[in-house]
Structure 1
Amino acid sequence: MAGRRLDPGEAALWARVVAAVKPLHGARPVAPLAVLEQHGAPRPKPTRPVAAPAVKPARGARTPGDTLDASWDHKLARGLVSPDATIDLHGHTLAAAHARLDQELGRAIVRGDRVLLVVTGRPPRAESERPHARGAIRAAIGDWIAAGRHVDRIASIRGAHPRHGGGGALYLILRRNRTG
């Protein structure tokens, strides 16, 4: 039975579906291009992954980096550092999470906190395509921090210890207030 021909958008979607299907045990896989061409769809163009645009901090601004000494890294890796405050972004929309991060980071700086625990939720799966179905906050937080107004106050960003959320959280280590 011959069906209607797929339009280019449908063909591209169908190509993604066919590419994701794994055959049952012993079944012969169907060549995706053959299926597409059988329905009159044009051959899809090969795509390359598109990298997110790099956010450049303001000229002369200090950026988060590897400024911690071995003692800090050792304590963080073993879960021996207690965060001064927690910022829970899990479950928020991207806009609400971004606003809350900026607001809470400002408050933490005023209080003189050194270690913040930022709960983002788990990172996106390796096979996930942008826009990420899950882990969108985790995927965006680095860009938010790099382009944020408090970037010069952050000494480093590290993954959290499992007792503090592991892959679903980050430590933000703030620079000491140096007044005088």
Structure 2
Amino acid sequence: MSGKRHRRSLTEEERRLWRRVGRTVTPLRDRDVAMPDSENLGREFLDAMDTAGPQDGPPARDRKSPLARRYAPPPPPPKPSREPGIDRPTTRKLAKGRISIDARMDLHEMTQDVAYDRLYAFLADQRSRGARHVLVVTGKGRSPGSEGILKRMVPVWLNSARFAGLVSGYTQASRHHGGEGAIYVRLRRLSHPDGSLRP
């Protein structure tokens, strides 16, 4: 069905936009540029708008335009690694003395550097002796001027890659073993040369 298309006139906003575009145009040499009257203002602009319609696919994008680039959404942040814990039944048995604590270490009044090295050496030594559960006393950090740095840092160390070969789990000790200021640490079992675990 053919018919004459109705041309609409520009809105005031479209007129302002067209004037701005016109100011950015550089005239050709040796030619006078005649500005169109209000009736013919932006005929090409209107033609382009009239012919624009729904398309089958996504609109074509200018490859040179930075807006044409499709950026993938950023990947989700990695899930924090789960702290290796000790199961509740084992923790209860440690608290009640049904499972013996093989050794204890007190990190009180040590600097971070000293405590880190001594803790690693202690755990490595106890594991080599076949120890399974040890108690590490960090202190509660409630003394004047203390920030409880070891209380905060020891769990971080135990969860680090360096300690992963020694430690299979840890959890806060019961009240009579130091409560918030102490940690039960379960050491990994040593294996025999054939790969089987020692009891």
**Shorter-chain TM-score category?**
0.5 to 0.7
CA shift in 2, pair 1:124/1:145, >3 Å: farther
1:96 — aligned with what? 114
1:167 — aligned with what? 180
CA shift in 2, pair 1:64/1:83, >3 Å: farther
Equivalent residues of 1:124, 1:138 under 8 A apart: no
TM-score by length of structure 2 reads: 0.49
> CA-to-partner distance for each residue in 1:118-138, whole Å, 9 max, x for gaps?
01001569xxxxxx9321101
CA distance in 1 between counterparts of 2:146 and 2:86 reads 33
CA distance in 2 between counterparts of 1:147 and 1:66 reads 14
CA shift in 2, pair 1:143/1:71, >3 Å: closer
1:87 is the counterpart of 2:123: no
CA distance in 2 between counterparts of 1:112 and 1:64 reads 23
CA distance in 1 between counterparts of 2:147 and 2:159 reads 21
> CA-to-partner distance for each residue in 1:8-64, whole Å, 9 max, x for gaps?
xxxxxxxxxxxxxxxxxxxxxxxxxxxxxxxxxxxxxxxxxxxxxx9x88xxxxx85
* RMSD, aligned α-carbons: 2.8
Deviation, structure 1 residue 145? 1.7
Equivalent residues of 1:112, 1:177 under 8 A apart: yes
Q: For residue 65 of structure 1, what is the amino acid of its counterpart?
A: P
Paired residues in the alignment total 114
* SS of corresponding position for 2:135: strand
Equivalent residues of 2:169, 2:187 under 8 A apart: yes
Equivalent residues of 1:64, 1:151 under 8 A apart: no
1:113 is the counterpart of 2:131: yes
| Structure 1 unmatched runs, 5+ | 1-53, 58-62, 126-131
TM-score by length of structure 1 reads: 0.54
Which one has a bigger Cα radius of gyration?
Answer: 2
